[in-house]
Amino acid sequence: MAVVAAVVLAACGGSSPSALDPKGPAAARIADVWWLMLALAAAVYVAVAVLILMASRRRAEGQDRRLPLGEHTFIWVGGIAVPTIILVVLAVVTVSSTAELTRAEDNPLRIEVEGFKWWWEVRYPEADIVTANEVHVPVGRPVEVELTTADVIHSFWVPELAGKADMVPGQRNVLRVTANEPGEYRGQCAEYCGLQHARMAFLIIADPPQVFDDWVERHQAPPPEPPPGPAADGERIFESSSCAGCHAVRGTSAVGESGPDLSDFGSRRTLGAVTVENNRDNLGVWIADAQAFKPGNLMPPISLEPDELEALIDYLESRR
């Protein structure tokens, strides 16, 4: 047991988010239920272990084997009354928590997230913004995330903020999320969806309301022209090559829909749905051969001249 516990606990800690470290009301509620279940299960475990020990010692000492309670009373209490009480308590707590988690809030911010193999499209219908793999939200305001999928079943899970909700073909599920504190919360696809399921992550970035409003305003403004030079060349290469067939950049002729929208790519923290940090070196490797970081993902390797690659890097890093 010690070995198993050591192996299991080694998975905790580090930077992986924990559902037991809640940063929002929904996650806090779920963590409370989890602790209650753990406490009840531990109490039952200890009680049974003590009874087993007592029973084995009685036999060894050759004592009278009658129970102090009487056999019938013992079965009524230990086998029926106690389990019934425990299950009723858990049923009441789970049902009332579920009701609370699905209750609609006043004036929520609506965000649509669509799952793709193996990344996330993020849309703000009221502000008319499209981005990918990063969900910006204001601290303290309830957010209603509408979940859909472009292909198979995915599941949207941000352990520190809320429970899981599946993204099911032909269905629109809603998850309610509120972040109590500013921060960066890692989310993960929680339903096996193919080869790169493990690298289908995302970030929820909770900002103070003013910072969030600025972000919205910046994304609504007409996109800045790339500065003359390599970045402007990059835009021409992007629009005239295969990139534009799969990716969109607002205000250009690139309107592809099978890959992430790249209008604000330069301001994203990561690349490939949180596979690697977004920097020039990683972007160069990614564009030339996205399979190197994320084998099996749906962006093919693309052969480019070195100056074309540099121009594309300049262009994409200037999209904010």
Buried b (16+ CB within 10 A) or exposed e, 15-24: eebebeebbb
245 binds ligand HEC per the rule CB under 6 A: yes
Rounded to a whole number of angstroms, the minimum distance from the CB of residue 305 to ligand HEC is 12
Rounded to a whole number of angstroms, the minimum distance from the CB of residue 282 to ligand HEC is 10
Return the residues of window 299-318 that contact ligand HEC according to CB under 6 A: 299-300, 302, 312, 316
Which does residue 268 touch among Cu ion, ligand HEC, none (CB within 5 to 8 A, set by kind)? Answer: ligand HEC
130 binds ligand HEC per the rule CB under 6 A: no
Beta carbons within 8 Å of 304's beta carbon, 6+ residues apart: 237, 287, 288, 312
Quote the CA–CA distance of 175 and 154 in Å, as a whole number.
Answer: 14
Among 98, 148, 241, 267, binds ligand HEC (CB under 6 A): 241
Rounded to a whole number of angstroms, the minimum distance from the CB of residue 115 to Cu ion is 8
Let me know: does 40 contact 86? Beta carbons within 8 Å: yes
* Percent of the chain that is helix, strand, coil (3-state, to 5): 40, 20, 40
Among 73, 240, 242, 253, binds ligand HEC (CB under 6 A): 242
Which does residue 298 touch among ligand HEC, Cu ion, none (CB within 5 to 8 A, set by kind)? Answer: ligand HEC
Q: x/- binding map, residues 172-211, to ligand HEC, per CB under 6 A?
A: ------------------------x---------------
Beta carbons within 8 Å of 35's beta carbon, 6+ residues apart: 20
Which does residue 189 touch among ligand HEC, Cu ion, none (CB within 5 to 8 A, set by kind)? Answer: Cu ion
Burial of 281 per CB tally in 10 Å (0-12, 13-18, 19+): exposed
- Identify the sign of the CA torsion 103, 108, 34, 5: positive
Let me know: does 19 contact 31? Beta carbons within 8 Å: yes
Among 143, 235, 260, 314, binds ligand HEC (CB under 6 A): 260
Let me know: does 236 contact 209? Beta carbons within 8 Å: no
Among 113, 161, 175, 193, binds Cu ion (CB under 5 A): 193
189 binds Cu ion per the rule CB under 5 A: yes
| Three-class DSSP labels, 260-272 | CCCCCHHHCCEEC
- Compare residues 185 and 265 and give the one whose CB is closer to ligand HEC: 265
- Compare residues 193 and 283 and give the one whose CB is closer to Cu ion: 193
Buried b (16+ CB within 10 A) or exposed e, 189-220: bbbebeebbebbbbbbbbbeeeebeebbeebe
By the criterion CB under 6 A, which residues form the site for ligand HEC? 118-119, 132-133, 196, 241-243, 245-247, 258-260, 262, 265, 268, 271-273, 286-287, 294, 297-300, 302, 312, 316
By the criterion CB under 5 A, which residues form the site for Cu ion? 154, 189, 193, 197, 200
